[in-house]
Amino acid sequence: MSEAATLRELLAAHDVACDGCRYNLRGQTGGVCPECGREIRIERVRGVIEARQWRERRMPGDRLVMAGLVGSLLGLGYAAGAMGTLVRVMMSELASPMRLVLEVTLWPLVVAYPVLAWVYLTRTSWITARSGRARLWLALTAWLLAPADLVLVLLPLVLAAR
């Protein structure tokens, strides 16, 4: 099959934006963009299609799984900040009851979020196979673990300041 025929076949089945003007080239039969006249390169069209197919294979289609993935990744950032706080607390001269409260409330989070993010990133098919209720609880855990921990950290600090 010639390159022109292959290009027509690819553009008949896929949405691909023009590099110059972002016009959707789907269904185009010529070798140039009808909007800006830029040449349509078959290598670029194949690259766009392959990247989209790779992304679709990797990204979960279930909204609860996607919500949990986003929550766990955001929580991973929070856990990284908590790790920094933990290091500062352990090196500081805080009174020992307050230090103990911070250490006890932050350590589980520093461990839980990397594990949760790892599960979402590497075991997506396992999560997708769970019931809707289980996926909901896992997503809620991903989103609510950090705020719950924040309350656990701030509550003793507020009570001690009174």
Average pLDDT in the 15-40 region? Answer: 90
pTM exceeding 0.75? no
Contacts of 12 (CB under 8 A, 6+ apart): 26, 27
Average pLDDT in the 135-141 region? Answer: 90
Output 139 or 89, whichever has higher pLDDT: 139
Would you say residue 81 has pLDDT above 70? yes
With pLDDT > 70 as the criterion, what percentage of the chain qualifies? Answer: 88
> Would you state the pLDDT for residue 38?
92
* HSE, side-chain direction, 13 A CA sphere, residue 42: 12
Would you say residue 94 has pLDDT above 70? no
Cα separation, 71 vs 146, whole angstroms:
9
Would you say residue 56 has pLDDT above 90? no
Which spans in the chain are helix H? Answer: 3-13, 42-58, 63-91, 96-122, 124-128, 132-161
> What is the rounded average pLDDT for all residues in the chain?
82
